Amino acid sequence: MKSIKRELHCPVCEEMVKQPIVLPCMHSVCVLCAAEVLVQRGYPPPELPAEPKTPTSSPITRSPRQTRRPPPKTDRLDRVIRTVCGTHPGRRRKDTPPVIMLFPCPTCGKDVELGERGLADCLRNLTLERIVERYRHTVSLGSMAVMCQFCKPPQALEATKGCADCRSNFCNECFKLYHPWGTPRAQHEHILSSTFVYLCSFMSILHVVKSQEKITKEMNYVFANQDSVQAQITQVESGIAQTEVHSTVAKEQLNQCVSELRSVLAERQGALAMLLEGARAQRAGALNAQLSKKQSLLENAGLLTYTQELLKETDQSCFVQAARVTHNRLVKAIENQQHFSLSADPSFRHFQMDVSRELKALSSMDFIQAPLAPVIDTQKTLAYDQLYLCWRLPQDSAPAWHYSVEYLRKVGSSGSNDTHCSWQRLDDVGGTSAVIDKLEMDSVYVLRVRGCNKAGFGEYSEEVYLHTPPAPVLSFCLDSRWGLHAERVALGKGQTYARSVPGMTLLQAADRALTSCHLTSDLLVADVSITQGRHYWACSVEPGSYLVKVGVGVEAKLQEWFHLPQDMASPRYDPDSGHDSGAEDTQDCPPPFCFLTMGMGKILLPKCGVSNTSTGPLTAPLPPRLGLCLDFEKGRLTFYDAHSLRVLWEGTVDCSAPVCPAFCFIGGGALQLQELIANRSTEQNPPRRVTIQTRATDAGH
């Protein structure tokens, strides 16, 4: 009955319903609460029915929670009417026109139309009233609920626990509030609230016994750990002493650094002052020479007198001899008077200093900070023949001298790491990438990295999880033994990249064909064949490719199939998984080919790989890298999303003869074989090969 208690509450007063009525929206409220709501909204006061004398309203059978609700008073509705509506003298009730009342139902949040008679048209919810009566009968004074002593009224809840130490009753929330985890109160013994009410004296004795047991236990613990406490005291004292020593060393280093800055600044100041003094002396000499020259021009009065006397000379030969020299002197005098400028700039505007950058650097001078947590580049990080981890430091991070790369093999299906495994570490990694080899196949590895400089190690990066391939990686290149047309297919350097372009042949064929175009196909195979074991390889198909088929096939059958004239547009000759050919429907042996088709950013996934009862294929987004694993003994080829090693599809293939990876282009497209990490790391970092250290180290070091 207590489980339905909330269903018996009025949504207006949030107490147990009393005289409930059913609104037109089929929700129930107290009739008095409904009347109050209508009066508060300005409607005339309704006529309420008299309260029946039923066990529901009897104080003897009322629930203890109902004692918090005061009994309804006769003037309750009158006060609301006087407050909201007031009085209207000179107006008679019979003159009031009928009003259609709208009641705001608090349960559904809608205005419900009551009609002209208002609440009189609403039926009493007798069923709900009887349920309330039965509920109240189940709560007797003998089983009166014990209320929480710490809840604030009128929201007090029933007590569910009693504390023998506090000698109080609590509800669940108050017990958690007054007995927080990690404090001495959390050790208090809790009992049922009813037991605490009737056994107070016994609880006092029990409290004494429990207290003695606790004190004895705590005292024994203290005595047993005296040596440990003494060792901790020694460690703390050593830490205090080391703090003083290291702080003194750090202060001396600070003073030394500032002194070096001062000496460098003083030395630079002297050098700049000497440069300035040299420029001043040079310019002063030039100006003094110009001054002397100008002062000599003041003697031109004598030259003029000499010239006047020269003009009086009657001997022509003597005049010509003296006139040439006089003319040159007069020309120089005229030039010095017409063109004048200072021989040196006295402003020294080119000797101003801008020390804003240096001041900013000095103001931001601080102690060395350890590098921030590196950010692992998930686009470049991958696991293939080896594990390649790439990272970078945040932009505002202090530089790192070197890095420490740690990894841990994750075991167990529960997701927890093996407690016997410890983090293995690569120390002194100089760059922002590392290669880890000697890994176990089909395993998940957890990796993290942190930087180090003079200030010590920084924080670890976020942990990343990498799944190693399920089988050894097969290394091969593309072979053009069959079907390579130079005008349509081109191989890249190293023969790990191929691109197919339809070219002029397709354009000319389209000119002759009005309704359809015969698409040509080109087949590329690996330069190695598989005759045993399990092998894994990966490739990426360009999303803009038209149709590219990736898979395996029997070497002899591939050559036979490709050289036969056939219509590639016909599904009879579509080698997808080897199950499309009608000639193979009656064969019991596995098909000689197993392919998946990719194109236009999608991958075609048959619903069933071992049966012809599939209702139709499915399309999925093309993964960035596609992984393939061939189990030669079982004749099974599995396709993966190479990034997460999630299985996409499985198919069967005839492995009674050598099998080789194969790639087929229909229309334009391109693919790239996954490069071995060992080859790439050799080209990028030829001087050094990073190999994992197998010694066990402390993960927190």
Instruction: Name the phi and psi angles at 645, rounded to 5.
Output: 55, 35
What DSSP state is assigned to residue 377?
-
User: In this structure, are 184 and 203 located in the same domain?
Assistant: no
Is the residue at 370 inside a domain? no
Is the residue at 364 inside a domain? no
User: What confidence tens digit (pLDDT) does each residue in 22-70 have?
Assistant: 888 888 899 889 888 888 888 877 766 555 444 444 443 343 334 444 4
User: In this structure, are 153 and 269 located in the same domain?
Assistant: no
What DSSP state is assigned to residue 204?
H
H runs (alpha helix) in 72-225: 76-84, 126-138, 172-178, 193-198, 200-224
pLDDT of residue 609: 45
Distance (Å, whole) CA 236 – CA 231: 9
Is the residue at 583 inside a domain? no
pLDDT of residue 336: 66
User: In this structure, are 331 and 228 located in the same domain?
Assistant: yes
User: In this structure, are 85 and 182 located in the same domain?
Assistant: no
Nearest-5° Cα angle at 237, 236 to 239:
60
Domain residue limits at 464 = 375-412+421-468
- Number of independent structural domains in the chain: 5
Is the residue at 698 inside a domain? no
User: In this structure, are 547 and 483 located in the same domain?
Assistant: yes
- Mean pLDDT in consecutive groups of 10 residues from the start of the chain, 701 residues: 71 87 88 88 72 43 41 49 43 56 86 81 84 71 66 78 82 85 80 57 54 77 83 91 90 90 90 90 88 71 70 73 75 69 80 85 84 93 92 92 92 50 88 91 93 92 93 89 69 88 65 56 87 94 92 84 48 42 51 90 75 64 94 94 91 92 89 89 44 39 39
User: In this structure, are 83 and 200 located in the same domain?
Assistant: no
Cβ(662)–Cβ(526) below 8 Å: yes
User: What confidence tens digit (pLDDT) does each residue in 266-308 have?
Assistant: 998 899 999 889 989 998 998 898 888 777 666 666 666 777 7
Instruction: Calculate the alpha carbon distances from 415 to 71, 140, 411 in Å.
Output: 60, 53, 7
Cβ(667)–Cβ(519) below 8 Å: yes
Is the residue at 613 inside a domain? no
SS (H, E, C) 121-138: HCEECHHHHHHHHHHHHH
For 139-155, give the DSSP string. --STTPPPBPSSSPTTS
User: In this structure, are 258 and 385 located in the same domain?
Assistant: no
- Last residue within a domain, chosen from 287, 309, 338: 338
- Identify the CATH number of the domain in which residue 79 sits: 3.30.40.10
Structure tokens at 535: 């092998």
What DSSP state is assigned to residue 64?
G
Q: What is the pTM of this model?
A: 0.51
Is the residue at 354 inside a domain? no
For 448-507, give the DSSP string. EEEEEETTEE-PPPPPEEEEPPSSPBPP--EE-SSS--TTTEEE-GGG-EEEE--HHHHH
Cβ(674)–Cβ(384) below 8 Å: yes
User: In this structure, are 457 and 311 located in the same domain?
Assistant: no
User: In this structure, are 151 and 284 located in the same domain?
Assistant: no
pLDDT of residue 449: 96
- Last residue within a domain, chosen from 338, 354, 386: 338
User: In this structure, are 512 and 527 located in the same domain?
Assistant: yes
Is the residue at 584 inside a domain? no
Is the residue at 355 inside a domain? no
User: In this structure, are 506 and 634 located in the same domain?
Assistant: yes
Within 10 Å of residue 480's Cβ, how many Cβ atoms? Answer: 17
User: In this structure, are 59 and 124 located in the same domain?
Assistant: yes
Distance (Å, whole) CA 172 – CA 161: 7
Residue whose tokens read 């710490």? 150
- Identify the CATH number of the domain in which residue 379 sits: 2.60.40.10
What DSSP state is assigned to residue 272?
H
Residue whose tokens read 């099974």? 636
Distance (Å, whole) CA 473 – CA 441: 10
